[in-house]
C-alpha cells in the first residue's frame, strides 16, 4: 500500500513489492497470482480496521460515522486511485472480480444491510423498506463519484445523502419498543 | 462497437479496427490517440440516440423510460463490458477520463438535472430539493452495480429506485400550476 500510494497503482510491479518487502518474486507468486490480488488483500485488511459498523442505536449517526470513514480513507487522497485501480482491473480479470466481491464488498454490504435491518426491526423504518436497495442508494453514489471522476462528497454532503436515503425508507423515529397502539 | 461486442473490449486493437473499417492505422491515429478514444466516440453517438430525455409532464414516467433505456442498452449484455472497459481505462488515462466526462457524462447529467428542475419548478418537489444529489442517487446505484459486478437492476427494480429517490425529494403531485393557498 505504501508503494501504491507513493508510486501510483499502475506503476507498481511484483518486482517492486518483492524488493520493498524483502522477499523473492517467487515467494509472492506462491501466494498471489498477480499484483491486483496482493493489493486487494492489503485493502481488505485495512477495510476491516477502518469500516467497522457501529451500533449506537442511532442509525443516522452510525451510517454517518461509517460512511465518512469509508470516503475519507478510500475515496479521497492517494488511496482513492489505488482502490479505483483495483476496481478497474476487475473489469478484465474475473478471478480478481470474484475476490473483490467475496473478500471485500459482500461482507461489508451484508454488514450494512444487517445494521439497517436492526433499525427496521426497532420500528425506525417502514416494515417493507427495501434494505438491499437502501444499501445501493447509500454506497452507489460514492462509488459512482469515485469511478466517474465526479469528485468525492464532503462530510456535509454525506450527511445529506444519508438523510435523503433514510427519509425514503419511511418515517424515522427514535429506537425503542414500538409505540402502544 | 461490433468488434468490441463480439471480441470483447480488451482484445480489440487499433489494427483490428483499421482492418474492419477498411482504413489504415495511420488514418485512425490521425484522429484518435488510442483505442479507448475511438470506442468512447462510438458510445457517445449511441448514447445520444438511446438516452434522449423525454418530457411528457410526468417525471416518474420520463425517468423510468430513460433509465430503462440506459440500463438495457449500456448496462446489460455485451455492451456492458465495453462500457465498463472504457470506464476502467479512464482510471489510468487522464485524457480519456476528461473525454468521458465532457463528451458523455456531463451533458447527460445536465439533461437529467434540467428535467428534474422543470418538475421542481412545476411544484412536484420541495423547492429546496437537492437535484444534483438526486441525479447521483438515480444513476449512482446503476453504475455501482455495473462496475462492482453486482448485477443490473430489472425494470421493476428501476421503477422502485425511482420511486424511492423521487419520494425523498418531497411530496410528488401532478404537474400543473401551484395550488391556490
Residue A13 lies in a domain: no
* pLDDT of res. B83: 93
Count of C-beta atoms within a 10 Å radius of residue B151: 11
- State the CATH number of the domain containing residue A79: 1.10.357.10
Domain presence at residue A86 = yes
| Chain B positions in Cβ-Cβ contact with residue A87 (cut-off 8 Å) | 88, 91, 147-148
* SS3 assignment for B54-114: CCCCCHHHHHHHHHHHHHHHHCCCHHHHHHHHHHHHHCCCHHHHHHHHHHHHHHHHHHHHH
For residue A96, list chain B residues with Cβ-Cβ distance below 8 A. Answer: none
Least confident range of A47-51, B36-40, B51-55, B124-128: A47-51
More confident residue, B156 or B46: B156
Q: Supply the pLDDT for residue A53.
A: 78
Are the beta carbons of B91 and A105 separated by less than 8 Å? no
Per-residue pLDDT of chain A (181 residues; tens, 9 = 90+): 888 888 888 888 999 999 999 999 999 999 998 888 898 888 888 877 667 777 888 999 999 999 999 999 899 988 899 999 999 999 989 999 999 999 999 999 999 999 999 999 998 888 999 999 999 999 999 999 999 999 999 999 999 999 999 988 876 555 555 555 5
Q: Does B172 have pLDDT greater than 60?
A: no
Digit-coded pLDDT (tens) for B123-150: 888 899 999 999 999 999 999 999 999 9
Residue of chain A with shortest Cα separation from B167: A168
Q: What is the mean pLDDT of chain B?
A: 89
Q: Determine contact, residues B157/B91, Cβ cutoff 8 Å.
A: no
Domain count along chain B? 1
Residues in chain A: 181
- Nearest CA distance, A30 vs chain B (angstrom): 27
B81 domain residue, yes or no: yes
Residue B161 falls inside a structural domain: yes
Domain presence at residue A1:
no
The C-alpha cell of A152 is what? 468525492
A44 is written with which cell numbers? 481488505
Which residue of B85, B164, B167 is in closest CB contact with A92?
Answer: B85
Q: Is B153 left (phi over 0), alpha (psi -120 to 50) or beta?
A: beta
Assess if residue A60 is contained within a domain: yes
Give domain status of residue B179, yes or no.
Answer: no
The reported pLDDT for the residue numbered B178 is 55
Q: What digits encode the pLDDT tens for the residues B80-118?
A: 999 999 999 999 899 999 999 999 999 999 999 999 999
pLDDT (mean) for B43-61:
82
Whether residue B64 has pLDDT greater than 90: yes
- Residue pair A117/A45 in contact by the 8 Å Cβ criterion: no
Range of the domain at A99: 35-168
Question: Quick one: pLDDT at residue B174?
Answer: 57
pLDDT in the model for residue A174: 57
User: Given this model, what pLDDT does residue A152 score?
Assistant: 95
Question: Which of B172 and B166 is assigned the larger pLDDT?
Answer: B166
Give the max Cα distance, chain A: 69
pLDDT reported for residue B85: 93
Which of B81, B92, B157 is facing A85, going by the closest CB pair?
A: B92
Q: What is the mean pLDDT of residues B147-172?
A: 92
Q: Residue B95's closest chain A neighbor by CA? A: A149
Q: Kindly give, in sequence order, each residue whose CB lies less than 8 Å from that of residue A141, ignoring residues fewer than 6 positions away.
A: A153, A161, B133, B136, B137, B140, B141, B144
pLDDT of B165 higher than 90: yes
Instruction: Kindly state the average pLDDT of the residues B162-181.
Output: 72
Residue A132 neighbours by CB under 8 Å, 6+ apart: A113
Q: The cell 445536465 sits on which residue?
A: B110
Q: Which of B33-37, B48-52, B75-79 has the lowest mean pLDDT?
A: B48-52
Q: What band does B177 get if pLDDT is binned at 50, 70 and 90? A: low
- Judged against a pLDDT cut of 60, whether residue B38 lies above it is answered with yes
Q: How far apart are CA B39 and CA B156, in angstroms?
A: 31
Q: Which of B21, B9, B178, B150 is nearest to B75 (CA)?
A: B150
Q: Answer yes or no: is A121 within a domain.
A: yes
* Per-residue model confidence (pLDDT) at position A82: 92
CA distance A139 to A117: 16
Indicate whether B50 pLDDT > 80: no
Amino acid at each position: 500500500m505504501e508503494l501504491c500510494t507513493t508510486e501510483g497503482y499502475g506503476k507498481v510491479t511484483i518486482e517492486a513489492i518483492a524488493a520493498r518487502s524483502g522477499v523473492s518474486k517467487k515467494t509472492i507468486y506462491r501466494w498471489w497470482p498477480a499484483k491486483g490480488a496482493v493489493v486487494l488483500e492489503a485493502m481488505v485488511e485495512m477495510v476491516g480496521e477502518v469500516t467497522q459498523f457501529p451500533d449506537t442505536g442511532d442509525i443516522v449517526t452510525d451510517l454517518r460515522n461509517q460512511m465518512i470513514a469509508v470516503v475519507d480513507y478510500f475515496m479521497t487522497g492517494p488511496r482513492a486511485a489505488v482502490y479505483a485501480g483495483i476496481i478497474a482491473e476487475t473489469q478484465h480479470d474475473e478471478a480478481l472480480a470474484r475476490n473483490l466481491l467475496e473478500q471485500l464488498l459482500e461482507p461489508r454490504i451484508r454488514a450494512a444491510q444487517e445494521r439497517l435491518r436492526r433499525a427496521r426491526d426497532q420500528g425506525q423504518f417502514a416494515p417493507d423498506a427495501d434494505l438491499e436497495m437502501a444499501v445501493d442508494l447509500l454506497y452507489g453514489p460514492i462509488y459512482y463519484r469515485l469511478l466517474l471522476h465526479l469528485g468525492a462528497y464532503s462530510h456535509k454532503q454525506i450527511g445529506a445523502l444519508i438523510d435523503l436515503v433514510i427519509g425514503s425508507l419511511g418515517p424515522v423515529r427514535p429506537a425503542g419498543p414500538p409505540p402502544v397502539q
